[in-house]
């Protein structure tokens, strides 16, 4: 259609024609469909916040979730946050990664460019009591996902790993090349899955896999429409504090008050969920723009350690609400002090956490206020 017969054209005409071709190709590139991303576990706490950032970043998103610890309302709230226009680029499928047919149906109808894999169970204490449940959900589901991705030639993944793979590190901050020594079944599932990812990529070099070892996610979307609101008694600190604040639970159990730390409570690296979501976007863009990724791990944290009791005090200051505390024995599988070195992520992903949650927990407070407006009928104020 656009072939040229060079001897019929003057240099001026040739330059014009080549310029036209260049602009036309650039136009087609601009209007080409956006990259399609599958987000497993996308109705969960970190998943919903990441989906918001994906949609705002111009990606087309498909969520698969089995609602084991999430609700459809979370997906509806994502649509409210991004608005009707961007919501056109979001679809949802209820399904379970352990059922390969659910994945086959998704991949057979959509050509995905990459997968962000959140789906899995994540409570340390529960994993100690129910290890088989964790091996079933986390390992079997992920193996199925790899098989179906390979079948449909989708070989880019951002994997939701965890700082629990470090166990109790010999020194801090944790660096990505530290010895991995998970201390509980949950952490071991993440460690096993990291090893599986490395083995797959080594055998099939066309795979690009980024392992994001994130530390302790807290906070909420600034709109108050999204946040961590788990079913049952929470396993993570901030939703537990929130539920005490709104009167759902009578007191906060602090597990461990005799650690060799500044106030006796465990120290963690609390990263705001919006920073974490942006970290996933940075990792995804790295997959699309860099060739020599292989299988690479990155810490996502703040690089600062904050104790459990310091987080409680910060919430009380931000909310004006006193949180009753019950000091309890340590939980099995919990480390004393863990926080991240973020140098690799800052250098290679151009990502850095911007919100230090030890000093700013306004997001969770806003979520608690939003809940008082009708979701649960409970008031924070």
Who contacts 117 (Cβ-Cβ below 8 Å, separation ≥6)? 40, 41, 142, 145, 157, 158, 159, 160
Tokens 């979501």 found at: 277
Short-list 210, 269, 278, CA closest to 46: 278
Q: Is 259 known to be catalytic?
A: no
Could you tell me how many helices (H) and strands (E) the chain has, helices first? 13, 13
* DSSP strand pairing (306-307 vs 267-268): antiparallel
Phi-psi category of 333—alpha, beta or left, where left has phi over 0 and alpha has psi -120 to 50?
Answer: left
* Residue 298: CA count within 13 A, CB half-sphere: 29
SS3 272: strand
- Residue 147 to residue 152: CA distance in whole angstroms: 9
> Looking at 134, 146, 166, 186, which residue is catalytic?
186
CA quadruple 262, 263, 268, 273: dihedral positive or negative? Answer: negative
Strand order in the sheet with 114-117: 90-94, 60-65, 36-40, 114-117, 156-162, 208-214, 295-300
Who contacts 110 (Cβ-Cβ below 8 Å, separation ≥6)? 36, 38, 62
Task: With residue 150 as reference, give the H or E element that holds it.
Answer: helix 141-151
**Residues with a known catalytic role:** 186
């Amino acid at each position: 259609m656009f072939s040229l017969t060079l001897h019929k054209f003057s240099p001026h005409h040739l330059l014009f024609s080549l310029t036209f071709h260049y602009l036309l190709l650039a136009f087609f590139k601009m209007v080409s469909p956006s990259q399609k991303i599958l987000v497993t576990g996308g109705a969960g706490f970190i998943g919903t916040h990441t989906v918001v950032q994906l949609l705002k970043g111009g990606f087309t998103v498909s969520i698969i979730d089995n609602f084991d610890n999430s609700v459809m309302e979370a997906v509806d709230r994502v649509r409210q946050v991004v608005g009707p226009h961007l919501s056109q680029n979001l679809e949802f499928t209820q399904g379970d990664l352990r059922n390969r047919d659910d994945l086959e149906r998704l991949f057979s109808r959509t050509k995905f460019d990459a997968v962000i894999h959140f789906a899995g169970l994540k409570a340390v204490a529960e994993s100690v009591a129910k290890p088989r449940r964790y091996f079933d959900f986390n390992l079997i589901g992920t193996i199925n996902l790899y098989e179906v991705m390979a079948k449909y030639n989708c070989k880019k993944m951002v994997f939701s790993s965890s700082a629990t793979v470090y166990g109790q590190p010999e020194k801090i901050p944790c660096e990505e090349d530290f010895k991995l020594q998970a201390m509980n079944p949950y952490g071991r599932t993440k460690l096993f899955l990291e090893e599986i990812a490395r083995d797959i990529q080594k055998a099939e070099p066309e795979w690009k896999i980024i392992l994001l070892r994130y530390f302790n996610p807290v906070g909420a979307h600034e709109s108050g429409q999204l946040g961590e609101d788990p079913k049952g008694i929470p396993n993570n600190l901030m939703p537990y504090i929130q539920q005490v604040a709104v009167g759902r639970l009578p007191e906060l159990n602090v597990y461990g008050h005799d650690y060799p730390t500044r106030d006796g409570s465990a120290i963690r690296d609390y990263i705001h969920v919006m920073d974490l979501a942006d970290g996933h976007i940075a990792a995804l863009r790295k997959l699309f723009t860099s060739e020599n990724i292989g299988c690479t791990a990155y810490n996502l944290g703040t690089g600062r350690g904050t104790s459990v009791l310091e987080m409680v005090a910060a919430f009380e200051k931000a909310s004006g609400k006193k949180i009753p505390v019950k000091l309890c024995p340590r939980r099995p599988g919990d480390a004393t002090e863990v926080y991240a070195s973020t140098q690799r992520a800052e250098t290679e992903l151009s990502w850095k956490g911007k919100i230090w949650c030890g000093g700013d927990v306004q997001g969770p407070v806003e979520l608690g206020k939003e809940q008082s407006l009708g979701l649960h009928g409970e008031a924070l104020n």
